[in-house]
Structures are given as structure tokens and as C-alpha cells.
Amino acid sequence: MTFSLCVREPYQRDGETQYRFGVAVTTRLPGVGALCPFVAEHGAVAVQSHVNPQLGERALEYLADGLAVDDALAALLAAEPADERRNRQVHAVGRDESFLFSGSNCVGAIGEHDGDHYTVAGNLLTDASVVTATAEAYEATAFGDRPLAGRLIDALAAGHEAGGDKREALTIQSAAVNVVSTESVPYRRFYNDLRVDASETPIADLRTTYEGAMLGFEQSLNEYASADEIDANRPE
């Protein structure tokens, strides 16, 4: 159904450690952004193959309560009926840990990669090189100066170019990116939560939407922020 990546990037701001968490995902079905990515200030989770949004929502609740992401998701999956769990693919990053799970009934080419501070997973892929290409594209820009959302979209594009979802008969596709930072900011980052729900070119459209949202963010700063605020609120 899907390939996606979950990312944790710690960074320093005013002498304090902050975190940005993000998920980017694409699939050959509409509306993946409403079902698969779950992101909050404690971690990032992707639930795919046979999707259960409640699994992602409850995982974020567990992380907010202080549970490690691997313990939280292992417990949630263990509580599911075995026939449902076998169809599930879940991966995630928390403040310190990561998690990968692909049920035995996940079909097609399946791939997983744990990069310590990020994870990539997919199913129904043309082959496992989709996961490798996605991981390598993200690693090439990890902790870079550009906002994480844009770098995640680039990683999705690399996976798609490597083959992506193998179901070519399904032309209506979707893609999404969601990034949350622990840093408190006065101006909304319009570019950090974007979806393309039904398109034949979802990743290209997501990039276009991202570029427009970046422009909108810059325009809002120029319109409403002081010079000092503009300098302090550079894109993350």
C-alpha cells in the first residue's frame, strides 16, 4: 500500500536541545494523509498496510505519558487480535528509540530500514530498493539547513523514482508530510502539515504545495513580524 519515513532530529536553540519529528508518506490510494502519519512533540508514527488510525493515535498518547516508543507500540500490537496484527506494518521514532514491525501477511515486496534516528518502511513495493533509495536520499540531507518537511518530500521522490508502489493500475494516489517541533514559535509554519489527497502526481503536487506554503510563511512574516521576529523565526 505504502512507503513512508519517520524522522527525529534534535537541534540546539538558545542553548536548549529541541526536537523536530516528521513523517512523509505516499501510496497508490487516495487520502493517505488522513490515515497513516501521526506526529507530536514526543515522536512520529506511521501505520500502514491494513491501517488502524486508532493505533497511531493511542501510540502518541502513550508517548505523551512517558512510554518509550518501542514499548508503546509493542504493547498496542500485542493487544490486537492476531489476524489483524499479521496485516499491519508500523514504524516509528521517539525521543530515544525507534520501532519497526511488518506483519507476516504484509504482501508484495516489503522493506524496512532503521537508521537510528529515522525509520523507513514499505509494502507492495516494486522491490526493496525503494526503501534503500528513500533512506539514502534522507541521509544525504539529514540535519541540513533546509526545513525538514522539504527534505522529507525529496526523500519520498527518491523512493518513487526507484519504483515506489507497484500497483500501476491504480492511478489516483496521495501523499502527505507532517512535521512537529518541540520549540515554541509565535508564527504558524504553514509548510509543516500538508496533504495531497487525490492526484496522479501526488509527490510533485506535494512539492508544489510545500513551495507555496513556504512562500505564504515568508509573506506572513514580512507582513506581520518585526525585523527581530523575522530573524528569530527562520524556517525549521
Share of the chain above pLDDT 90, in %: 75
Quickly name the fold that domain 2-232 has: Glutamine Phosphoribosylpyrophosphate, subunit 1, domain 1 (3.60.20)
- Closest C-alpha among 128, 151, 109, 141 to residue 23: 151
Phi, psi of 111 (to 5 degrees): -140, 150
Domain ranges of the chain: 2-232
Share of the chain above pLDDT 70, in %: 94
Taking only the tens place, the pLDDT of each residue in 51-62 is 999 999 999 999
Taking only the tens place, the pLDDT of each residue in 146-163 is 999 999 999 999 999 988
Between vectors from CA 204 to CA 176 and to CA 154, what angle results, nearest 5°? Answer: 70
Q: What pLDDT score does 164 carry? A: 62
Per-residue pLDDT at 234 exceeds 80: no
- Closest C-alpha among 195, 196, 188 to residue 236: 188
Read out DSSP for 52-105? -HHHHHHHHHHHHTT--HHHHHHHHHHTS-HHHHTTEEEEEEESS-EEEEE-TT
